[in-house]
Structure 1
Amino acid sequence: MSTLTLPAPAKLNRLLHITGRRPDGYHTLQTLFQIIDLCDQLTLTARDDGVIQLVNRISGVADDDNLIVRAAKLLQQASGTRQGVTLALEKKLPMGGGLGGGSSDAATTLVGLNTLWQLAFSLDELATLGLQLGADVPVFVHGHSAWAEGVGEQLTSATLDTPWFVIIHPGVSVSTPAVFQDPQLTRDSRPITMARALQGGASEWRNDCETVVKQRYPAIAEALDWLSQHAPSRLTGTGACVFAAFNNAQTAHTVAKAAAPYGSAWVARGLNTSPLHDALGC
């Protein structure tokens, strides 16, 4: 096996509670990550010269800052392998959308290279490496919808409902650091248990970043208010994407088509197991 083509799925934060702020400036949180079937696609081709090569660059992102290049170099260094890889990324997920695209791309790189290079790292070992790249990387490495705590790295697998989601990207870029530094951000949500969160269900879920983001980005507020007319709607992560769940694909597609004035819209199915792990039999 010299080439693998693998999906890098998106996620939604079905809820996001900010429970505190650590001395180092990072915020503690509780969230429900749900994998969805909207994916980037990554092709990895093994090479024997040790070179990590990216063939299609992202405008404005230097290769050394690209998460898939960083992930490949990190695994290469951790394993001591002399192998290299050529990476080709087909980008479908919007950058800065709150869908975890960059983190998922990095996770697919780690999991895919573990197979391609025949390294036999465990998923736990890969997740520990991935945490160096970003707090959302471990959930994609483990490949299952999950309850998360800490800065998002303390994961417990969760089985969620699997509706059809309408996702709207209003075409603006959200500054995550600015959101978390905003003095109006809620930082003292009372911690709850995973069982209580699941028992409460979607009708009680919220995103603590939403009020600040709506104030700072009117286009997101407009998209969220419009989508809320059709179903309970929330921000994912710090945005810019907003989403709502529907019971059937036909209704979801009708709403997504009508969302055109508010930005780019997609329909995606909620999943509990990552298509990456389905592809590799993890």
Structure 2
Amino acid sequence: MFGQRFLLFIVAQALFAGIAIFLAHSPYLNMSVSPTGSKPWADGPMKLVTTPQYETKKDADKADFIGYSQTWFKFVKSHHDDEEENLFPKVQELLGNEPVWDETHHEHESFLAPLAEFNTYLSNLASPTDLDSAQVIKLLDSFKEPFENHFHSEISTIAALSNHPKAPKENTPEGAAAGLTFKTWGKKTVTKAGVLDVVPFFLLNLDRTAEEGMWANWPPMPAPISWGLTNIAGSWYGKYWKFSSCDSQGKPQELYALRDLKQ
């Protein structure tokens, strides 16, 4: 009996000693201070070794980037085709078949061929790891200026339609019908391009803080539907959206490709 009590006493003393040592010296209790860019850390003066696992992870991102890029192409191409086949003819008919879209047609032609070449390059890659960033930049640069010019120009062209002599007047049945034409087309042109890919792409690149939050509730739809399209439908190609410019709340986020870039 005495032997058991003595043994328990020894165990208790050892336990208390262990706790005392833990409280006095354990790394768990050390205060952590994050390193700053101005002070040296353990990655110098000799550079740390980059593991193959980390380097190959970069190649894994290439497949997602290709998918993201081709979703963007699909969106632009579908939007263009829908304009040419549906929206433009309806507007021309409304305005007496006047050539109000001539300049827009020329703008489309200025970037469609190199845009298609970009998609062809992505589609013909034997493996995602063959993606060459220099070639991607070269292809995008080939239509950057006409593409940017078109989007600014087209907004001005559409806005100018309100001053056209044959345009329906505001607050009239004809004006309401014309407005509904644009509204209905705008809603369908995104969803028809792809609910599981293009719609999430659209919503995850929609900056709801832009222009002092003027577009925070645009496009007009019930919040649960917007949430579902972004987060539920968007989960189908979820890995693509790390490259998007905004988060699921519509707030700008740091670009994925630049997150590890040292300034």
TM-score by length of 2: 0.29
Greater helix content: 2
Q: Which has the higher contact order (CA 8 A, sep 6+)?
A: 1
TM-score by length of 1: 0.27
Greater strand content: 1
